[in-house]
Structure 1
Amino acid sequence: MTRIVALAGDGEYESDRTMRPIAEGIAADIGASLDYRTPDVLEDYPEFPESSFGGLDTLERADLLLLYTRFRVLPEGEMRALESYFARGGNLVALRTSNHAFHPVVGRASADWAARFAAEVIGSPWSRHHGHSSTTTVTRLGEHPVLAHVPDRFSVTSWLYVTDPPADASVLLHGEPVNPETEPAPSAVAWARERGSQRIVYTSLGSQDDLEQPEVRLLLRNAARWCLGLPTPGTDR
């Protein structure tokens, strides 16, 4: 059976709560088992307390990781399990603050990997956004299995993250800030990467409102299917 692990721990966007129905829906759609984890300490910034997902040996058997965390400081064993998962080519669907998923702690063995994770795995680390009073217009780019049945254009209430995806990424969605508080920087909202047999999808969408929208739920379902090499409904790929 396909095995999915979900790590949801972001206090700002309440991903511990909002991701559960997303993850359960994806698992049900695929017919996969789901190991849904939340941290024992939800707070992150600015104190960066250590938290735990209860041990991550489950990643040794996982086919897909759903990630929505922010500034996690995890026990060294859990960080090693994550690093090993990606080193073996584990697939990833990551949302919003996952481009600053882990907080590197100087002196810890995991500090270097925690600092490199967003750039190396996701493809673009956190830089800035357009302010909490702004919204975003999202436009679909081209054809890709992750975009199956996703509309050409839709709006979200979340503020646009400024991103710079790598050259090997297929950009799927593009965002234009609406009423930005900072200098406008239209940016990629979602992209897909293939690194050998490993498949990665990142989207900066993921606010509480975003995850209620059918377009976003569909995008995430398609992303999980694509990462696992499964066809998306209504397509042959």
Structure 2
Amino acid sequence: MRKHDFKNDIDLKYPLLCFLLLILISCGDTSKKEKQEERSVANSDAPLHVVFVTGDEEYRSEESMPMLARLVKRELGAKVTVCYSVDSTGKIDPNRTDHIEGLEALESADLMVLFTRFRNLPEKERYYIADYAELGKPIVGFRTATHAFFYENDSTLTSWNNEWPTKVLGQQWITHHGHFEDGNSPLTAVSAIDGKKHPILNGLEPFEAYSWLYHVDGGEWNLYGDSEPFLKGRSLRSKHEAEGNLAQYPLTNPVAWTKSYTGNSGKKARVFFTTLGHPYDFKIPSMRKLSLNGIYWALGKEDEIPPTGVRGALDIPYEPNNSGFGQVYKKNRRPEIIQ
């Protein structure tokens, strides 16, 4: 009996096997993108999916974003998902910077709302956020998303610290005008920029925010790309004024703008960003209206924003903890599913 020559079989079949393997890998790489890009066509009658990504250890986004998500669900009839930083037992822990649970929801999202601060997420979790942005889908960002990530000990990742938020959202972290016993009284007077008209301003009355003013434009800094500010804040108390630095960091600065971001897909995404976001800000009707109007605009629904603005009245009380670091967040809470 002739001995079978397995070596010859391998030599003959190897190129074919490689070719088939490449096809399988290629299909795997493109299937997720195709699935995301075709969702709007295949499921045009499906409700919008809005994903809120929380994870900051200072501003109680784990409380404000679920409140906002309930309003979005009520007003848009959208499916809403809120992702949280959680500990090993599944309880919400905003002080954990290396994990946000549930980010895979971004694969089917129509809008990402980002409110994170100095996260050092592992690659897989980070790229759920980054991959979403590259698809050219709309983004809404709050306050500390100007410093959404922070990678200190790996030089290959430092571009996420400043470059990514600048390109995608319009600015990085620079400085602010000072805390001054935050939560005791408002620190920033907010009003429309003179002469600016924008549907996000519909129904918006001037208000005083508890957020201390972030510097994003002026002196050596400029908002990035095609950023168009339409709302300004004036610092009511300023460390930079006390230090004589107003030439670099003026008392008045933009607190909300729109821009676009074109990712690898070549599609231009709508981006709405505000540097406001203190937990007590969201008690103010104009802040909730600003947030909802911005979400509508990002989704291309500006024609659906009423002249009085999107309804932001609360159905259930919103009583967040004050901002602050350490153990000042509400304990023993688990992620909630908003039905």
Alignment pair present for 1:155 and 2:214:
no
Are the counterparts in 2 of residues 18 and 208 from structure 1 also a CA contact under 8 Å? yes
Instruction: Provide the TM-score with structure 2 as the length reference.
Output: 0.64
What SS is found at the alignment partner of 1:182?
Answer: helix
The 1-side partners of 2:215 and 2:230 are apart by: 15
State the Cα deviation string for residues 21-52 of structure 1 (Å, max 9, x = none).
Answer: 112211221111011111115355xxxx5432
Contact 2:55 2:100 in 1 (8 A): no
Query: Retained in 2: the 8 A contact 1:105–1:111?
Result: yes
Cα shift at 1:129: 0.6
**Given the superposition, is the C-alpha separation of residues 51 and 176 from structure 1 closer, same or farther in structure 2, using an over 3 Å criterion?**
same
Is the contact between residue 86 and residue 94 of structure 2 (CA under 8 Å) also seen in structure 1? no
Q: Superposition RMSD on alpha carbons, in Å? A: 1.9
Quick check: 1:234 aligned with 2:277?
A: no
Taking the TM superposition and a 5 Å limit, the aligned residue runs for 1:159-174 are 159-164=212-217, 165-174=223-232
Give the structure with the larger strand fraction: 1
Larger-Rg structure:
2
Gap change, CA 1:155 and 1:35, over 3 Å in 2: same
Counterparts of residues 118-197 of structure 1 (less than 5 Å): 118-133=165-180, 135-141=187-193, 142-151=196-205, 153-164=206-217, 165-183=223-241, 184=246, 185=250, 186-195=252-261, 197=268
Work out the CA distance in 2 between the residues paired with 1:110 and 1:84. Answer: 16
**For residue 205 of structure 1, what is the amino acid of its counterpart?**
L
Deviation at 1:125, TM superposition (A): 0.5
Pairing partner for 2:78 from 32, 46, 65: 32
- Distance (whole Å) between structure 1 residues aligned to residue 97 and residue 239 of structure 2: 33
Alpha-carbon separation, structure 2, partners of 1:102 and 1:78 = 12
Change (3 A) 1:69 1:50: closer
- Is the Cα contact below 8 Å between 2:188 and 2:210 reproduced in 1? yes
1:176–1:187 CA contact under 8 A, matched in 2: yes
Give 5+ residue unaligned stretches, structure 2: 1-46, 88-92, 181-185, 218-222, 262-266, 308-339
**Count of aligned residue pairs for this structure pair:** 230
What residue identity is the alignment partner of 2:163?
Answer: R
- Compute the displacement of 1:167 (Å): 4.5
Per-residue CA deviation, residues 86-108 of structure 1 (Å, 9 max, x unaligned), is: 11112111111111111124437
1:69-84 equivalences in 2 (<5 Å) = 69-84=116-131
The reply on whether 1:205 has 2:273 as its aligned counterpart is no
Amino acid of the structure 2 residue aligned with 1:103:
F
Q: What is the letter of the counterpart of residue 177 of structure 1?
A: S
The alignment status of 1:15 with 2:68, answered yes or no, reads no
Give, in angstroms, the shift of residue 232 of structure 1: 3.5
Post-superposition offset of 1:8:
1.2
1:176 aligned partner, one-letter code? R
Tell me the amino acid that sits aligned with residue 57 of structure 2.
G
Deviation at 1:130, TM superposition (A): 0.7
Q: Which residue does the alignment assign to 1:222?
A: 293
**Superimposed CA distance per residue, residues 113-165 of structure 1 (whole angstroms, 9 cap, x where no aligned partner):** 344221111111111111112711112121111111112x2211221000122
In the aligned structure 2, how far is the partner of 1:173 from the partner of 1:108? Answer: 36
